[in-house]
């Protein structure tokens, strides 16, 4: 069980780094700025520190990974609603099934 958790942990670290480097430099700078929703101190905003383009993700960068088993999709323009559910199939695998439901 520990080795499985360890390999999953390594995979998640790799995915976090992959996502970081896939982001634009301008996007990465957002993680170095002051904390959002706090009052600005002084007349000028704080200058952003230098960011090494080849350095990995900063501590404030977080990658959230979701593993849903159901998605409720509503399209307000067409007034349609679909319910997607991840279900086992007859051959022992799993796949997404969709069902049109009332909005």
Q: Where are the domains of the chain?
A: 1-64, 70-101
Distance of alpha carbon 43 from alpha carbon 78, whole angstroms? 48
Q: 49-99: per-residue pLDDT in tens?
A: 678 888 899 999 999 988 899 999 999 999 999 999 998 888 888 899 999
Q: Does 21 have pLDDT greater than 50?
A: yes
Q: Which residues contact 46 (CB under 8 A, 6 or more apart)?
A: 33, 34
Lowest average pLDDT, out of 1-10, 18-27, 40-49, 56-65, goes to 1-10
Distance of alpha carbon 73 from alpha carbon 82, whole angstroms? 5
Confidence (pTM): 0.58
Closest to 13 in 3D by CA, of 24, 25, 1, 5: 5
pLDDT, residue 92, reads 81
Distance of alpha carbon 72 from alpha carbon 79, whole angstroms? 13
């Amino acid at each position: 069980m520990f080795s499985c958790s360890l390999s999953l942990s390594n995979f998640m670290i790799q995915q976090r780094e992959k996502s970081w480097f896939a982001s634009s430099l301008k996007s990465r700078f957002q993680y170095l700025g002051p904390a959002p929703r706090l009052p600005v101190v002084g007349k000028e905003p704080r200058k952003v520190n230098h960011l090494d383009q080849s350095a990995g993700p900063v501590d404030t960068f977080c990658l959230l990974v979701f593993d849903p088993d159901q998605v409720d999709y509503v399209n307000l323009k067409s007034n349609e609603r679909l319910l997607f559910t991840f279900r086992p199939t007859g051959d022992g695998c799993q796949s997404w099934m969709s069902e049109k439901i009332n909005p």
